Chain A
Amino acid sequence: MPERFRLYRTVVATALALGFSAATVSAQKPLPPLPKPETPPPVPSILQSYKPVTADRLKQPEESDWLMYRRTYDGWGYSPLAQINTENVARLKPVWTLATGQIEGHQAPPIVNNGVMFVATPGNQVLAIDAKAGNLLWRFKRPIPEDILLLHPTSRGVGLLGDKVYFAAADAVLVALDAKTGNEVWNAKVEDYTHGYYMSLAPLVADGKVMVGVSGGELGVRGFVAAFDAETGKPAWKTYAVPAPGEPGSETWPQGDQWKTGGGSVWITGAYDPQTNLTFWGTGNGGPWMGDQRPGDNLYTASTIALDATTGKIKGYFQYHPNDSWDWDEVNPPILVDYQRNGKTVKGLVYAARDGYLWMLERTADKINFVDGKPFVKQNVFTKLDPETGRPEIDPARKPGTGKKAEFCPSLWGGKDWPPVAYSPKTRLLYVPANENLCQALTGEPVTYTPGERYTGVAPASVVFSVVPGADHIGELQAWNLDTGQKVWSHPFANSQLWGPVLATAGGVLFMGGTNDRYFHAFDAASGKILWEFRTSSGVTGVPSSFQVDGKQYVAVLSGWGVDAARMQARLNVAKTWEFPDVPQGGSVWVFALD
């Protein structure tokens, strides 16, 4: 319900309640009558002229817009706007800011269509804002069931098509809103939240459908991607990341019921290749965490899967590590980018994995091929990769099991967790927000499945983090040349872990937050030098975006520390390696421009 109407209802309810109280206190004057419910307030002019989002605009967005999670289907996180550049970025100033009224991790990009901004926040909330002036246009809020187990209270944004805004609600319900009013047009149940399914990703809109995946890899879910008709909300297809017995891939699971709770959650928006009509999705850890409780490779956990957008059929896959036992969700889709190898152009997929390897792959219409892979942080689990298939050989001493402790690097949060990489076609560099030098121990324990309850099979006390001796930093922004496969520069953060999604721009400037000092940083995309910093209200873990209104370029980002950035920090402070500062929570939208 949009805020305008909900507010009215709350006023009525409160007034009724107050009325009851007033009746008992006769000395008080009667309250003045409340305004009668009238026709809804007029739609603001900026929304009256709302520009419908077409399939063509999603494929080729105007330079001024940011219409989806990573702006373009290829996942680059790149804005072609160049008004803000390396020469003038030091003059960047905040233009407006807006509190979201929510705590916890604010991770969504401000999505902008022709001057109208949509922001999704924790607390099942979507805000529509005049992107230039900062006026709040409407606010949608969906109640969260009180008995939900919401392990990651966040949202990573909305999807757009026509005059609708699509929101993946935490309670595993897909909601379509009217972009002009914030009224709900339809909703569709995706799964049962009482069985541990919840949602946090921005929906992917392609082929006339809205596609979502589910979180819950710690709660015994069987992950999937589901598609719904964008106009009506009618279910179109549902493809599980864990095959049922008899389906292709089921031979990589044991004979028992493990597949029913096998994990493979999908909680980051997929990429899309319009040429082949394939969507690319990353899948999460196997469930429960210890691989020896589900012997086999466990397809398609910790993989990229290529799904036909029309049918949902699995057309290809690449598993980054078999029989996951490290909680290494490989949930980001690879970016779609062509690169040079051995004098040839590879139609590529590039992925900086939680397992700490940078994977270079090839995409075809019906297969994903391995090209090469190398660690981008200290990694002591893989002893080598098969040169043909890319399958890693695992050091058994580095693989935890049930009743078996193992120490391994990188930690369960990986060389890079969910914050997306960015790629600039101008520098041909891939920008990776990494966490280096972090290792950990894990010990598994037997676990019984109870629907909706934690199902990791790990003794909490066995989860112990450590830092590589002599390490002088953890957070590190890296730049990799895709054609040479070499790291070109890296920027370490001496006093922080890094949870910053990256924005690349045609002005040669990168934007990223992610550090516990609350700064939003601008870097020279060619050298990694910091060109500008601004200290926001809380820590910045939002996906930055850039847009243009009335000829002026803006950069926008959500500030709002929480979820895993805060959780990692709590563990690091327990380890007493660093004394990281307290980072107050509380979300807000920040918009910057040149003065």
Chain B
Amino acid sequence: MGCEFRCGAARIGRRSALGLGLSLALAPRLVLAQTEPARERPKEGDLLVPVSGPSPEPLKPEDLQLDAKQTFAWPMDPDTKTVRSGSRLNKVLLLRLDPEGFDPETKERAAEGVVAYSAICTHTGCDVISWHPDSQLLECPCHYSLYNPKEAAKVVGGPSPRRLPALPLKTVDGRLVVAKPFTGRAGFQQQM
């Protein structure tokens, strides 16, 4: 379960510091590249812009249809307008659902019924593109891991070892804004 319950935002600093030393030894170029703003993970205050669409207009809750299939978005620095598309691990999926069905954790992270999760499956790194409208479950098409977006993306089927990290949201001036960094590490993890 590892990161599942312990990788809260408050601990990320210490983990990163520890990880940095090892990462520098293993893959120096990778680490340097992540210091580019477009590769940095979503930050508090970032806006969200659709991955595909006519313009990178920041998303509002009403842009998302209730109960519809997930929309994919990149975080965007509101000041520099840098879209953080430099790493696929920054891609998030957004859903607008009835918050009545949310568990307390999810309720706290949602903004007007909109929930955001890392779009990258924690199993082997595929994009989580499928949506089961009847059961309201997310599915990865590669190995069929199932996640429940109303319960903090808990794994409810398939081989995935842990839930999708959530990206807590708020609304500011009617727009969706990142309230806190990812609740865990995005992407899959190599076993040691």
Contacts and interface: CB of A to CB of B under 8 A. Distances in A.
Nearest to B130: A460
B126 A562 contact: no
Interface stretch (A139-147, A203-211, A268-276, A298-306): A139-147
A143 B27 contact: yes
B190 A454 contact: no
Task: Name the residue in A146, A148, A571 with the highest tally of chain B Cβ atoms < 10 Å from its Cβ.
Answer: A146
Contacts of B127: 149, 453-454
Contacts of A52: none
A567 B124 contact: no
A585 interface: yes
Interface string A429-454: 00000000000000000001000111
A153 interface: yes
B159 A102 contact: no
B25 interface: yes
Interface in A438-492: 448, 452-454, 460-461
Task: Name the residue in B26, B187, B191 with the highest tally of chain A Cβ atoms < 10 Å from its Cβ.
Answer: B191
Contacts of A151: 124, 126, 142
Contact of A566 (B130, B143, B188): B143
A365 interface: no
A437 B117 CA distance: 39
B191 A13 contact: no
Contacts of A147: 87-89, 125, 187
B144 A150 contact: no
Interface string B79-92: 00000000111000
B46 to A, nearest CB: 19
Contacts of B18: 13, 17
Given A123-B191, A143-B27, A143-B190, A150 B125 contact: yes
* Dominant secondary structure of chain B at its interface with chain A: loop
Nearest to A16: B21
Interface string A107-151: 000000000000000011000000000000000010111111111
Contact of A567 (B22, B27, B88, B143): B143
Task: Name the residue in A17, A124, A448, A585 with the highest tally of chain B Cβ atoms < 10 Å from its Cβ.
Answer: A17
Contacts, number: 78
Interface in A578-595: 585
Task: Name the residue in A13, A149, A562, A567 with the highest tally of chain B Cβ atoms < 10 Å from its Cβ.
Answer: A149
Contacts of A141: 192
B158 A149 contact: no
A148 B159 contact: no
A570 B190 contact: no
A570 B143 contact: yes
A103 interface: yes
A9 interface: yes
A460 B139 contact: yes
A101 interface: yes
A145 B158 CA distance: 23
Task: Name the residue in B18, B124, B130 with the highest tally of chain A Cβ atoms < 10 Å from its Cβ.
Answer: B124
Interface in B1-53: 18, 21-22, 25-27, 30, 52
B141 interface: yes
A150 B22 contact: no
A585 B159 contact: yes
Contacts of B187: 146-147
B89 A146 contact: yes
Interface string B179-192: 00000000111111
B65 to A, nearest CB: 18
A13 B21 contact: yes
Contacts of B144: 567, 570-571
Contacts of A145: 27, 30
Nearest to A585: B159
B64 interface: no
A558 to B, nearest CB: 16
B156 interface: no
A452 B88 contact: yes
Given A123-B191, A147-B187, A149-B125, 15 more contacts: A101-B192, A103-B159, A143-B27, A145-B27, A145-B30, A146-B89, A146-B189, A150-B188, A452-B88, A461-B130, A566-B159, A567-B144, A570-B158, A571-B144, A585-B159
Interface of A: 9-10, 13, 16-17, 101-104, 123-124, 141, 143-151, 153, 448, 452-454, 460-461, 562-563, 566-567, 570-571, 585
29 contacts: A13-B18, A13-B21, A13-B22, A16-B21, A17-B21, A102-B191, A123-B190, A123-B191, A141-B192, A143-B26, A143-B190, A145-B27, A146-B89, A147-B87, A147-B88, A149-B88, A149-B124, A149-B126, A149-B127, A150-B125, A453-B88, A563-B143, A566-B143, A567-B143, A567-B144, A570-B144, A570-B157, A571-B144, A585-B159
